[in-house]
Chain A
Amino acid sequence: MGVVGNSIGLMFGLPGQGMHLHLDALSLLFGCILLPQVVAASVAGMRASVAFWAFVLGMALALLAADGFTLIFGFELMSAASWLLVMQGDRKPATLYAGVAIFSGACLIPALFLPASSLAFVLIALGAGAKAGLAPLHSWLPRAHPAPPAGVSALMSGGMVKVALYVLIRYAFINLAPAQQPWWGEALAAAGALSVLIGALRTVLEVELKTALACSTVEHVGLITVGLGLALYAKAIGDAELSGVALQAALLCAVAHGLFKPLLFIGAGEVKHATGTTSLNWLGGLMRGMPRLGALMLLGAAGMAALPLGPGFAPEFLLFHAVIGAAATGGILARIGFSALLAVLGIGAALALGAAVRIIGLGFLGRPRSLHAAAAEDMRRGPFVAMALLGALAIPVALVPGLLLDLLNPVIMLLAPEAQTPPLAYAPVTLLILAGLAALAAGFVQTRWGVRGLREVPAWNGGFGRPPAWLPFGDPHTQASATGFAEPVMRVMGKGLLGAGMTDPAERFLLAPLFRIQTRLIRLAERVRRATIRERLAFVFAVLVAFLLALGLGQGG
């Protein structure tokens, strides 16, 4: 090992160059996002897996890289190890995932060595975006992320996606900064808005808990990307305040998402462990059997829905501020576009709230829909410690985001040196105290002037009929199923956006044509393989004649 400049050289890597590590504010931030997840995932039961540690090593290398080779080496190590982990879960999405990983590698490798230009940015955005699950390259994510064990799912959703975004941030804001143009940010914001819409919509519609969480990851990647896009746009047009707010929103969203999403995924793994399924249609009433899990999942769902006083609220609040600020800049088209972006974000927030209500309400409240859900026992020790750690770390994000934003300032200065970061206009602690006072007052009013004593009344019983004798837990069909709960959203938006078969548009318009092309190429290859000797001879002969003809005509002319 030797220190060259301010980076550390390792004694292996490319001959003559080696690999160089470097720690700056941005790497530190993403390392801090990653660390609790790694601890949580290893505590939750992944610590014996070699592939898991290779995955972690790849992510750490990618974050600490000081040169392009180290970055791509770490990135691909991360992809390969996570591919192995996905394959342990399910083979089919693993193949799709490998294809996406190869695509992103094929985009990133040339981009890292291109000079700063728009082409390099497009390649970086395609490569990192495909790995982060940015629309329209997101359709693999809801398939691949739920496949491996819960700890890996957690780290993939909370960590790997962040590493891809880290690459995007580092190149878009720092390495390619000399060539930056406003349309880069607009393109990123558009892709982010698309991700938010599709991700949030699918989160509401998916029946499998883990798939729904993966779709929610698509949504949050979209939110972060919208923030990054706005910051890039503001940086290019020289709007100091907007770029500061947008970066605050994006980075804080990354921090918050890195805490509550692994928590939810580990919780989903516990649900699977306790009941044998993660289908919301077969769960219900888990809050009774698994109170600790239920409470922690409630915290995570509050973050996912961006409820006030939850960990997800402050970033979304900042993001809306940034979008409103952006809507006042640029020409008429940009204003209309940013206003539409505001509407899309609003729809996304509403859908995310619906999704969180659906997960908690159908999975953890109500009556059990199956014997397994009724007989669920509370969680094991390891996952509980992991989730408690993540939950405890989420509390400061929820209650003192202002302090956290101060900690983010060096990163923002690194990314956009001229950015101004105004203090946060949202004080959760005050809000909490006010809400507490209001609750106390209400409680006082109720005890002082409320009805005293108990009254026996016929139970309304939440709309349930009396359980028949042969179904002691009640007929599961008397309460709304997850599919039924999502049906209004499906009718209003799903049919239009997803089509009748509820397939992702990215699959219909991107994967399906690719598949058709592949089939055609295979047919062609098969035709060549089965050609007779005479046909092969004729082909060679035709090429020869064409060559001679070209030669003769070239000479004659």
Chain B
Amino acid sequence: MSLTFSLAHLLGGIILLCAFLQLSQRRLAAMITLYQMEALVLAAAAFWQGFAQHEINLYLTGIITFALKAVLLPWGLREIVLRFNMVRAVETALPMAVSMILGLALIGIAVLVVLPTTMSSISLTREDLAIALSVVLLGLLLMIVRRNALAQIIGFLSMENGLVLAAIGMPGMPFVAEFSVALLVLLAFLVVGVFLLRIREHFDTLDLSGLEKIERRGR
């Protein structure tokens, strides 16, 4: 059982590291690569949890995660980057250092919240839950500190990874929930992709700061 814990924590830690590193990246390509690694490790974690909990559903989750998030979505994102010629640096709303310090603080908050509140439950899920909450918060932070729409989408996807991580760590979580979350993310990705195309058609850029300027001027 001790191997189960250690490996689960290790995989969770790698996912957290990937999510955190996304904050520090200026370039979209690097962010996509980090997201792909995150998804790969998440799939591995799902397989490992399936093996440890003897749940056939978790294998299915792992397969879906691998196929959708580690292969399909990064490919789509890279396509968008290529098609829109966005290989250059990403505009950030906050300095890198500040956003990373904020990220560290968020991880601290997540640990502070989860560890005392779940004192009574089994220890397998406690650390996993703290890691998952950290990943969700980091994803949200990523959406806030980036101006580029694609970077915000990556933040959103990363946040969703955190949710799945929390779900697979919980024994007895029904498969339907994970499946629907995954489907939701795919749909959101499609919708946002179409949206991006429209923005691009209208404004010739995906940098939303111009849009913000218009909004600030009043409709």
Contacts and interface: CB of A to CB of B under 8 A. Distances in A.
Asked if A and B bind, the verdict is yes
B117 A551 contact: yes
Given A530-B218, A537-B143, A541-B141, A552 B93 contact: no
Nearest to B136: A544
B144 A538 contact: yes
A556 B93 CA distance: 33
B140 interface: yes
B113 A555 contact: yes
Interface in A178-192: none
B116 A556 contact: yes
B83 interface: no
Given A555-B113, A556-B116, A541 B216 contact: no
A555 B116 contact: yes
Contacts of B218: 530
Contacts of A530: 215-216, 218
A523 to B, nearest CB: 13
A548 to B, nearest CB: 5
B143 to A, nearest CB: 6
A545 interface: yes
A549 interface: yes
A532 B216 contact: yes
A248 B8 CA distance: 91
A555 B117 contact: yes
Interface string A530-549: 10111001100100110011
Given A534-B93, A541-B144, A551 B216 contact: no
Contact of A534 (B112, B113, B116, B147): B147
Nearest to B214: A532
By secondary structure, the B interface counts as helix
Interface residues of B, number: 20
Nearest to B212: A532
A550 to B, nearest CB: 9
Nearest to B93: A534
Contact of A549 (B112, B144, B215): B112
Interface in B115-156: 116-117, 137, 140-141, 143-144, 147
Given A545-B137, A549-B109, A552-B112, A534 B144 contact: yes
A553 B110 CA distance: 11
Nearest to B133: A548
Nearest to B114: A552
Contacts of B215: 530, 532
Contacts of A534: 93, 143-144, 147, 208, 212
A551 B109 CA distance: 10
B106 interface: yes
A304 B94 CA distance: 72
A555 to B, nearest CB: 4
Contacts of A544: 140
B144 A548 contact: no
Nearest to B217: A530
By secondary structure, the A interface counts as helix
Interface in B170-206: none
A132 B46 CA distance: 75
Interface in A147-163: none
Contacts of A556: 112, 116
A540 to B, nearest CB: 9
Interface string B6-24: 0000000000000000000
A548 B116 CA distance: 12
B26 to A, nearest CB: 18
A286 B113 CA distance: 85
Contact of B116 (A532, A545, A552): A552
A541 B141 CA distance: 8
Interface string B23-67: 000000000000000000000000000000000000000000000
A551 B106 CA distance: 14
Interface in A498-542: 530, 532-534, 537-538, 541
Interface in B76-90: none
A548 B212 contact: no
A545 B113 CA distance: 10
Contacts of B93: 534
Nearest to B155: A537
A527 to B, nearest CB: 10
A534 B216 CA distance: 12
Contacts of B112: 549, 552-553, 556
A541 B138 CA distance: 11
Nearest to A550: B113
A537 B117 contact: no
Interface of A: 530, 532-534, 537-538, 541, 544-545, 548-549, 551-553, 555-556
Interface of B: 93, 106, 109-110, 112-113, 116-117, 137, 140-141, 143-144, 147, 208, 211-212, 215-216, 218
18 contacts: A530-B216, A530-B218, A532-B211, A532-B215, A532-B216, A534-B143, A534-B144, A534-B212, A537-B143, A541-B144, A544-B140, A545-B106, A548-B109, A548-B113, A549-B109, A552-B113, A552-B117, A556-B116
Given A532-B208, A534-B147, A541-B140, 19 more contacts: A530-B218, A532-B215, A533-B208, A534-B93, A534-B144, A534-B208, A537-B140, A537-B143, A537-B144, A538-B144, A541-B141, A544-B140, A548-B109, A549-B112, A549-B113, A551-B113, A553-B112, A555-B117, A556-B112
Closest 5 CB pairs of A and B: A552-B112, A552-B113, A555-B116, A532-B212, A538-B144
